[in-house]
Amino acid sequence: TIDPERFRETFERYSEIGRTDADGLHRLALSEEDREVRDRFVSDLEDLGLEVRIDRIGNTFGRAEGTDPDAEPVLVGSHLDSQPYGGRFDGQLGVLTALETLRTFDDEGVDHRRPIEIVNWTNEEGSRFKPALMGSGAFTGELDLEEVLEHADADGVTVAEALEEIGYRGEAPAEPREPYHSALELHVEQGPKLEDQGLSVGVVEGVFGMAWLEVVVHGDADHAGPSPMYSRKDALVAASDVVGAVRRLSNRLADDVVTTVGELEVEPGSINVIPSEVRFTVDVRSYDDAVVGDLVEAVEREVEAACEREGVEYDLEEIWRIPHTEFSPLVAETALAAADDVGASHRAMVSGAGHDASYVNEITDTAMLFVPSVDGKTHNEAEFTEWADAEAGARVYAETVERLANA
Amino acid sequence: TIDPERFRETFERYSEIGRTDADGLHRLALSEEDREVRDRFVSDLEDLGLEVRIDRIGNTFGRAEGTDPDAEPVLVGSHLDSQPYGGRFDGQLGVLTALETLRTFDDEGVDHRRPIEIVNWTNEEGSRFKPALMGSGAFTGELDLEEVLEHADADGVTVAEALEEIGYRGEAPAEPREPYHSALELHVEQGPKLEDQGLSVGVVEGVFGMAWLEVVVHGDADHAGPSPMYSRKDALVAASDVVGAVRRLSNRLADDVVTTVGELEVEPGSINVIPSEVRFTVDVRSYDDAVVGDLVEAVEREVEAACEREGVEYDLEEIWRIPHTEFSPLVAETALAAADDVGASHRAMVSGAGHDASYVNEITDTAMLFVPSVDGKTHNEAEFTEWADAEAGARVYAETVERLANA
Ligand SMILES: NC(=O)NCCC(=O)O
Ligand SMILES: NC(=O)NCCC(=O)O
């Protein structure tokens, strides 16, 4: 059994790195704060006697050998980057639950036949650099490594440059050294379902499909006073029409549809100037991949119609699409049985948030555990998970990993 | 008569300071570029033997004494600051037309009984620091000097600090030294009317009333995936509703109504995060002050309704209101007669753009001259005025100033 005090102390220590005034976390991928937390993680892995490996996209692994040198390893872990002014639990809790599991095995001499690899994936959030799940996507071959290394943030800094800057451009190939046996990731739910039902643990059997679009509307700057309304080409009027249309698409086509415009930037952004250019993003999701496809087409039609009404031009690019995931029944059943045996209240569920585990599922049998988010709140400094739930999750996690590592 | 070559050369020389790649002008109020163009202006005034005076808000005056030491002076000039990525004519052309007029009087020994004061007003545009017409507003007592000195830009730099930084925090009181006889400002039209009618000069008899609002919508950040639609408080959905409503208010209540949302900023601005906060501005105008009042109330109702629909909070502040201006018939008639005599095609008109002349009109008899804007385009790098029209305007301007200065 895990050591609740050590677990919590470690969590508090990691939470200091990039902590915000409102007790959230601002630790964007490949930032100075990310470097600092990665250094801490590497030093904790070394203290545990693990062999540390950093790959070309900065994914950081620690390997605990098993008793059977020929057995395929089990992969555990999550991500340490955060959203801008995000929460302390998103990602970090999964890495530290995996770390606590390995510390417990080491402390208590828990035998495991298979090697166990713990990982911190690079840029899960997709906020500073798009797309999300970048490290796991490159590692599993689902994203093109050389291409994503050249993706730039808003200041034009590329992933490759940022990795270099923080000293995490590793030399190990960004690919598995050998086939894995299985993988398990713990994460906060980031939604309200577990809390609504008063449960401590979710066994995640699938993840929504999702698509990200980037739209740039090209209007024409002019004066807010003497420019007659009939002559205007206002990029913001067209973009705002699309924001409303995207909202109206939610819960259409299927019950589970969610649609969001999260970024929107206006040029030149002067109070008495008609906006000449607006760049915005659209995020659409459903468990049904065909519905995601229909949503993308519906957004395209709305952009076209709004821009035609206003007489403005636009560019539209689909910058990311990931189909829905069906996790491994083998791993999910192992986790459900472990939750039963540990005595944690639980249910099976699917995730509306994307996770590195989706890409990992492409190369090995994978599933996830969720612990509840208070009020369902996440990507917000107020994100919170009750410690009793975090501990219950860690107990189920350690038990499941032990079973997988000896299977 | 003015010297067209000198006039144009001077214009080109000033246009180099803050020139953009697309031949526009980026010379925000109290920026480094503004300092540079002010230095050039002061040196040109000194070369002309004028007495230079800088007041506490940075308004910069040059005084040419008249033949009658007791006569009230005539005030000429405009502004040298620009919009972000704006045009070369907006403001600058008026200052340089006044300068060319004084150079011509000096060169040709044109007698003027009254002193003539040329001015470059601080922060006409209101883009970096709000509100617009700041220098003339403080100088005429229509804005509170001490209050506007504390207004901050987006980086938190105050007007007072920025003046200090560029060395233009003058010591002269920001108020008239003596009563003026009259004032005349030339500006580009920034609208399509003169061009549509094929005229070279407009004699401006009035300016629209206008109001500026700033709205902050407070939503709640959450994850674009697992957050059910029913639970969202999306600040951008509410703000976009208002952008559409503001557009629908245009040309309502009166034929001449114009309405614009020019600034809109989204926090935290991450593709997979529901927007927690949106700050945006609203600009409403009409020649009828009662209509401006009704527009402000209509916008307030729309903000309230949109925020209630989305379940979000908001703050709304009216940050500027200026009533419509009726310029001096005396000065307008002098200008109309001068235009007739010079043989420039012209009409009387009103302005949808705000001008320093509106505040100046509160303390002395004032009017304006307009020259056409190609395609009506302004606040845009492509802003342009044909040189023949600029010259015609300058000839009418010089003739009008001579008559006023000897009246
Ligand atoms: N869990 C999480 O926040 N993932 C980021 C990718 C997404 O937007 O779902
Ligand atoms: N002329 C001009 O651009 N003035 C700025 C104030 C306004 O917005 O009308």
Tell me: the pLDDT tens digits for B100-148? 999 999 999 999 999 999 999 999 999 999 999 999 999 999 999 999 9
Chain B residues in contact with A352 (beta carbon < 8 A): 223, 225-227
Pairing of strands A182-188, A365-371: parallel
Ligand 2 atom nearest A271 alpha carbon: 8
Average pLDDT over residues A182-195: 97
State if residue A125 touches ligand 1 by the CB under 6 angstroms criterion: yes
Average pLDDT over residues B361-386: 97
Tens of pLDDT, residue by residue over B269-324, are 999 999 999 999 999 999 999 999 999 999 999 999 999 999 999 999 999 999 99
pLDDT given for residue A250 in this prediction:
94
pLDDT given for residue A248 in this prediction:
97
pLDDT band at A222 (very low <50, low <70, confident <90, very high): very high
φ, ψ for residue A80 (rounded to 5)? -110, -5
State if residue A66 touches ligand 1 by the CB under 6 angstroms criterion: no
Facing A236 at nearest CB: one of B229, B261, B276: B261
Pure H helices in B343-386? 356-360
pLDDT band at B388 (very low <50, low <70, confident <90, very high): very high
- Residue B139, CA distances (Å) to A337, B61, B122, B135 in order: 79, 12, 10, 6
Pairing of strands B182-188, B116-121: unpaired
Ligand 1 atom nearest B272 alpha carbon: 8
Sequence-ordered list of residues with C-beta below 8 angstroms from that of A21, at least 6 positions apart, any chain: none
Tens of pLDDT, residue by residue over A318-335, are 999 999 999 999 999 999
Q: What is the rounded CA–CA span in Å between residue A395 and residue A389?
A: 10
To the nearest whole Å, the CA of A186 is away from the closest chain B CA by 16
Chain A residues in contact with B127 (beta carbon < 8 A): 270-273
Of B355, B368, B369, B383, the residue with max ligand 2 atoms within 8 A of its CB, to mutate for a pocket test, comes to B355
Tens of pLDDT, residue by residue over A105-142, are 999 999 999 999 999 999 999 999 999 999 999 999 99
Average pLDDT over residues B257-273: 97
Inter-chain contacts counted by CB atoms under 8 A, chains A and B? 248
pLDDT band at B183 (very low <50, low <70, confident <90, very high): very high
Q: Which residue of B has its CA nearest to A268?
A: B84
Q: What is the rounded CA–CA span in Å between residue A378 and residue A24?
A: 10
Q: Separation of B405 CA from ligand 2 center, angstroms? A: 28
CA-based nearest residue to A404, from A16, A81, A113: A113
Facing A190 at nearest CB: one of B226, B244, B251: B226
Q: Which residue of A has its CA nearest to B353?
A: A225
**CA distance between the termini of chain A:** 19
Average pLDDT over residues B47-57: 98
pLDDT given for residue A89 in this prediction:
98
pLDDT given for residue B147 in this prediction:
98
* B64, two tokens: 């040419």
Query: What DSSP state is assigned to residue A115?
Result: -
Chain A residues in contact with B247 (beta carbon < 8 A): 234, 237
Cβ-based neighbour number of residue B65 at 10 Å: 15
User: Which residues make beta-bridge pairs with B61?
Assistant: B53, B119
pLDDT given for residue A397 in this prediction:
98
Q: Separation of B289 CA from ligand 2 center, angstroms? A: 17
Cβ contact B225–A231 (<8 Å): no
pLDDT given for residue B141 in this prediction:
98
pLDDT given for residue A306 in this prediction:
98
Q: Separation of B308 CA from ligand 1 center, angstroms? A: 29
To the nearest whole Å, the CA of B297 is away from the closest chain A CA by 19
pLDDT given for residue A251 in this prediction:
80
Chain B residues in contact with A274 (beta carbon < 8 A): 260, 262, 379
Average pLDDT over residues A294-301: 98
Tens of pLDDT, residue by residue over A225-261, are 999 999 999 999 999 999 999 999 998 899 999 999 9
Looking up tokens 């920034």 gives B190
Cβ contact A264–B236 (<8 Å): yes
Facing B273 at nearest CB: one of A244, A258, A262: A262
Ligand 1 atom nearest A378 alpha carbon: 3
Q: What is the rounded CA–CA span in Å between residue A107 and residue A99?
A: 12
Q: Which residue of A has its CA nearest to B247?
A: A237
To the nearest whole Å, the CA of B177 is away from the closest chain A CA by 32
Cβ contact B83–A273 (<8 Å): yes
Cβ-based neighbour number of residue B399 at 10 Å: 22
Pairing of strands B116-121, B258-260: unpaired
Ligand 1 atom nearest A132 alpha carbon: 6
Tell me whether the omega of the peptide bond preceding residue B115 falls within 30 degrees of 0, making it cis.
no
B251, pLDDT greater than 90 = no
Cβ contact B263–A269 (<8 Å): yes
Cβ contact B228–A192 (<8 Å): yes
On whether the CB atoms of residues B286 and B207 are closer than 8 A, the answer is no
CA-based nearest residue to B120, from B165, B80, B82: B80
On whether the CB atoms of residues B348 and B332 are closer than 8 A, the answer is yes
State if residue B126 touches ligand 2 by the CB under 6 angstroms criterion: yes
How many Cα atoms are found within 13 Å in the side-chain-facing hemisphere of B26? 8
On whether the CB atoms of residues B40 and B14 are closer than 8 A, the answer is yes
Chain B residues in contact with A125 (beta carbon < 8 A): 270, 272
Looking up tokens 């009246």 gives B407
